[in-house]
Chain A
């Protein structure tokens, strides 16, 4: 019998194709652009991202599985694709001035951001372990370079090496877990794995357990959950601020988007006792993250610990393993992306030639010199704590909803205790902005792109807080694929 080629529907990855072509084009154009005009490449990549976002809007309502079941385009994937594209746009907007200040105004910077975005966008689409691994590596590779982009800054190099080593290690562990999974089930396709487990009624199988533990470990590194979080503070501190923002918001969201696919589709988390291990990780992650954030004086490190804590909160949704829980993860991630990016935009605003702007004390008195910036930062802080009317509140409400509905009362109580603790360190920054006198060397330098970035993130954080209906509806519609 002649082998038949599998049918390939390229439309399923249309947004990624557009972005990939544009990214390659960017590398080609790059040498022809004068050094002082490299910002044009930033606008070029924004154009690419917008184009890709538009093309994904046309794919609404489609449900395509192609590449021999490796890639699936459904509402769930589209939800995340658009989120990543918006996040990438904000990251590029805040980069345009930052790269000039830090003298890393090179075309590759934007190109690599686009490639990292492609990797992220593919991740929620993957329904096969192999395609998942490929997209994960595409994203990680781009980040390895981006994090170490300030070649002359030793801290940045340190961050790059740390992220590279832990990242490669984590990828190796994920690969090892995938090997066990393949060994136990004989397939790499997620739905086939699920069928195999169901049909053979496997409840406890050593290699399946091994696979689960290894995958959790690998993902634990990617989402920076305790005890796999050690790299995060150093990397966040050393990396260029927009890249830290993208790492914190984008790559974490991407990892969660694929975790849902793997752990719910393949492992069917709702049955069995898988949740117990996640319960412990979630509790330790949020508690340790919040406690360590209390004592930081560098705001990027503080946000690193806070982002660790947020991973803990998001795991609540995975543990409760219900429709509301999955929707909660998606809703929370949307809010999380905007509020985290927004906080980093303000840090970028503070950065100038003679001030790194990453110490909490650099925020002194901004409320008097730039009231709108202070107000917007306070909005992000409120959102990160989970105080209404912000996106963070809606997300937390949904997560606690999921916990209460799933009768994980202790998890909910530990979650709210942590939220209360987080108030202290977020408001330490707000307090410094509002109650201290401004210092002379804090000069915020505005440029139109960064204003737009601050506007997008601030508006989204407030709007989702006041009218979350569209996001909730989209999330509830998307998670139907898991039921």
Chain B
């Protein structure tokens, strides 16, 4: 099934470390707030370090699962404890550990009630998120997928603002609704695999085994794809299932929004890449136009609604709808460029939007308002803040030289290869994205400092600079030198594209070799463009 170079259950250690930390915190006295925060931060940093240990042992030349662990769990059902990662998971796992650590640090002053429960929730959430990205067994996957909803529900419901209870239960209900349909889909594959006509005749939930299944498009792939689609599309969220997102984002505490945008939304897109494409290649091709159009509607609609927002956080939330439309468009371009770009954009969105939410959180902590109209001319009082804000904004807009550009570029290339109209419409989204971001920045940062409350506003403190810096480093790193990131996911993407091809699904599209060649070329151009831009910037 795969290899484990360390011969040590590193992934399990990684996944359960935050859980152990959370249980440990349960035994600390409620009043000992400093110790709770330090423990939570310590645990998240150790988890981060453990996740970094994966990188030296990772072999980026193979698409096979690595660091695998496998043990029998519920033999009567064919359930195994199976974990393992490929490049896609590796990228998302490291992103998760980084974002969680940052979320914890950013909560030090923002959260001042029921501290213990808060940090227990965050660490518990981290275990769930890491588990989702490494599970190789559907039963295990489903447990992690569902269990994570509970701490997130509490984060919004207890520490949120506004209509927090409404938003929390809405988030929970929407996601549960989708995942239950996914569960039916999982059970359907489970039985089809056990049917010798279609599968191996064995009862198993093993994802790698089930990916080998070749089902006919009608009725099986068609319906099971739809069941999975509901589960993942709500999580992403794709238009028209996105309505929970602005509410949840707006009412969640800063760290909640950061984790929600940074990691939770990626689970939906991850699900499409990991399950839908390889398991239902024909259905993916069949539904490709529908998916692409939904993604395009999401891109343009999200951007237009973002333009009209008065609340900064809501604006960022709608920008997420737009950005995730890009990710979905890339994935459902069903070619190497699109999927690579989609996955890279998942990471980019996590970094940029996470950073944006942190920036909104900082200003909210100072002024306790998030209305754009309450600000103006802040750049004179908060120079460091406005610098960080500017970089993050450019990264989110997709300015060359920063991470957002690389992802969007690859997605647009992929979309162009698939259908020129898709790329044409998506470009409108890019322009609108620049519009709402720049306009937001202009209204908040420039102009006269005419609000008396803003006169005494303080700039970012050292802690805030410290947790923003790694994100900005990643923005430049992915923007200027994306090669290591693309290299890591390349084999896994190739495997998916091959699977799409070998299923005869993409007969009309060019062969894999040709696509690989194009990719090399574009990568070169990309790097050239980046270098040029950075040169210009430095000049």
**What residues of chain A have their CB less than 8 Å away from a CB belonging to chain B?**
367-368, 371, 378, 382, 385, 387-389, 393, 397, 400-401, 404-405, 412-413, 416-417, 419-420, 423-424, 427, 431, 434-435, 467-469, 472-473, 476
Contacts and interface: CB of A to CB of B under 8 A. Distances in A.
B147 interface: yes
Interface of B: 73-77, 114, 117, 142-143, 146-147, 149-150, 153-154, 157-158, 164-165, 168-169, 172-173, 176-177, 180-181, 183-184, 187-188, 190-191
A469 B74 contact: yes
Nearest to B158: A435
B169 A416 contact: no
B23 to A, nearest CB: 12
Contacts of B143: 388-389
A385 B175 CA distance: 14
Given A389-B143, A469-B74, A431 B165 contact: yes
Nearest to A432: B165
B74 A472 contact: yes
A405 B76 contact: no
Given A423-B173, A427-B169, A431-B165, A405 B191 contact: yes
22 contacts: A382-B150, A387-B150, A388-B143, A393-B146, A400-B183, A400-B187, A401-B190, A404-B187, A405-B191, A416-B180, A416-B181, A416-B184, A423-B169, A423-B172, A423-B173, A427-B169, A431-B165, A431-B168, A467-B74, A468-B77, A469-B73, A469-B76
Given A388-B146, A404-B188, A434-B154, A472 B173 contact: no
A420 B165 contact: no
Contacts of B191: 401, 404-405
Given A416-B180, A469-B73, 11 more contacts: A400-B184, A401-B187, A413-B181, A416-B184, A419-B180, A423-B176, A427-B153, A434-B154, A435-B158, A469-B74, A469-B75
Nearest to A428: B169
Nearest to A388: B143
A387 B74 contact: no
Contacts of B73: 467, 469
Contacts of B77: 468, 472
A387 B181 CA distance: 13
Contacts of A385: 176
A417 B114 CA distance: 34
Contacts of A469: 73-76
Contacts of B184: 400, 404, 412-413, 416
Given A419-B180, A467-B74, A424 B188 contact: no
Contacts of B172: 423, 427
B275 to A, nearest CB: 17
Contacts of A400: 183-184, 187
A5 B410 CA distance: 88
A388 B135 CA distance: 15
A371 B29 CA distance: 13
Contacts of A417: 177, 180
Question: Which residue, A401, A404, A405, A468, has most C-beta atoms of chain B within 10 A?
Answer: A404
Contact of A472 (B76, B157, B158, B168): B76
Contacts of A472: 74, 76-77
B180 A424 contact: no
A416 B231 CA distance: 13
B20 to A, nearest CB: 16
Nearest to A421: B173
A170 B511 CA distance: 70
A476 B74 CA distance: 13
A164 B35 CA distance: 59
Nearest to B185: A404
Contacts of A371: 117
Chain A to chain B: the 7 pairs with minimum beta-carbon distance, closest first: A416-B180, A388-B143, A472-B76, A420-B177, A404-B187, A469-B74, A387-B146
Given A400-B187, A420-B173, A435 B76 contact: no
Contacts of A420: 173, 176-177, 180
B176 A435 contact: no
Query: Main SS of chain B's interface residues?
Result: helix
B234 to A, nearest CB: 11
A382 B165 CA distance: 18
B78 to A, nearest CB: 11
A101 B117 CA distance: 33
A466 to B, nearest CB: 9
B157 A435 contact: yes
Query: Main SS of chain A's interface residues?
Result: helix
A378 B121 CA distance: 14
A389 B135 CA distance: 15
A378 B151 CA distance: 12
Contact of A435 (B142, B165, B180, B190): B165
B376 to A, nearest CB: 35
B187 A431 contact: no
A467 B73 CA distance: 8
Given A387-B146, A387-B147, A423-B176, A476 B76 contact: yes
A419 B182 CA distance: 14
B273 to A, nearest CB: 23
Contacts of A412: 184, 187
Nearest to B144: A388
A465 B358 CA distance: 37
Nearest to A389: B143
Contacts of B154: 434
A367 B187 CA distance: 36
Contacts of A467: 73-74
Contacts of A416: 180-181, 183-184
A424 B150 contact: no
Nearest to B116: A371
Contacts of A405: 191
Contacts of B74: 467-469, 472
Contacts of B157: 431, 434-435
B147 A389 contact: yes
A388 B146 CA distance: 7
A52 B481 CA distance: 72
A328 to B, nearest CB: 12
A469 B77 CA distance: 8
B202 to A, nearest CB: 15
B140 to A, nearest CB: 9
B173 A424 contact: yes
B411 to A, nearest CB: 33
A388 B79 CA distance: 14
Nearest to B159: A435
B372 to A, nearest CB: 29
A424 B147 CA distance: 16
A365 to B, nearest CB: 11
A388 B147 contact: yes
A374 to B, nearest CB: 10
Given A387-B146, A404-B191, A416-B183, A424 B75 contact: no
A412 B190 CA distance: 15
Nearest to A387: B146
A387 B187 contact: no
A75 B154 CA distance: 43
B482 to A, nearest CB: 37
A223 B187 CA distance: 28
A225 B164 CA distance: 36
A387 B75 CA distance: 21
A435 B158 CA distance: 5
A388 B75 contact: no
B117 to A, nearest CB: 8
Contacts of B173: 420, 423-424
Question: Which residue, B146, B158, B180, B188, has most C-beta atoms of chain A within 10 A?
Answer: B180
A400 B180 CA distance: 10
A388 B137 CA distance: 14
A368 B30 CA distance: 10
A267 B73 CA distance: 37
A363 to B, nearest CB: 15
Contacts of B153: 427
A136 B76 CA distance: 33
B120 to A, nearest CB: 10
